[in-house]
Structure 1
């Protein structure tokens, strides 16, 4: 069985994208070594988001609903504040769904970023399945 361990986000402005995620979520950030342009690695507790640049992409994601970055958070309201500080715009404001909280922000490249704070009851239901 394979384990999903990382995701590559390509951007025409990788430093801006790195700064957005670093401000919003405070991951450990490392720059790859070497003489070339390199790329940034954001460590989200063992899941890695690599931010790189490419010359075959546009400035914004034309189909942002195709892949959403889901972040499980402990305090959705605080995370909304951090995303606002990072300059996020909102596709869907924070919503309480039977004790669980969901919101969808848009990063500077137009990617959708969903935050999820599941209630203890919802987590228990998932674990029973």
Structure 2
């Protein structure tokens, strides 16, 4: 059996600031143990003394958040002053993608898959069944 991803660790020199940003930006509440739950996957933001205050390779690991209404989230993120690397834009199959930069310089993507993408997946799955 393939094990599920249980959590993702973001090491930072300022965990309180980074937890507050993720909580404010994405509407989730940080638990006392440092985890912020996004569905079944926990994002653990932990203080570390072996990392720089800002990442030097922000594209190495990108946390993707799949959302139902990317345009509404875009408005919220604009209202809180989030920094965009790449504004929300339509891609293949009607998907919407946007890339933010968190306070430590990490890239965070907002993705709305949309009905066109889901239809394409259903068609591919039915092709494999035949």
Shift of 1:96: 1.6
Higher helix residue share: 2
Which of 101, 104, 109 is matched with 1:109 structurally?
104
What is the SS of the residue equivalent to 1:124? helix
Kindly report which structure 2 residues correspond to 1:46-57, keeping only aligned pairs within 5 A, or say none: 46-57=40-51
Kindly report which structure 2 residues correspond to 1:17-96, keeping only aligned pairs within 5 A, or say none: 17-32=18-33, 40-96=34-90
**Structure number with larger C-alpha Rg:** 2
1:37 alignment partner in structure 2? none
Unaligned runs of 5+ in 1: 33-39
Structure 1: how far apart are the matches of 2:103 and 2:36?
A: 16
Shift of 1:89: 1.0
Higher strand residue share: 1
Shift of 1:85: 3.8
Structure 2: how far apart are the matches of 1:109 and 1:13?
A: 9
Residues matched between the structures, number? 122
Whether 1:100 aligns to 2:101 is no
Which of 94, 98, 116 is matched with 1:121 structurally?
116
Please give the root-mean-square deviation of Cα atoms over the aligned residues, in Å. 1.4
Shift of 1:45: 1.4
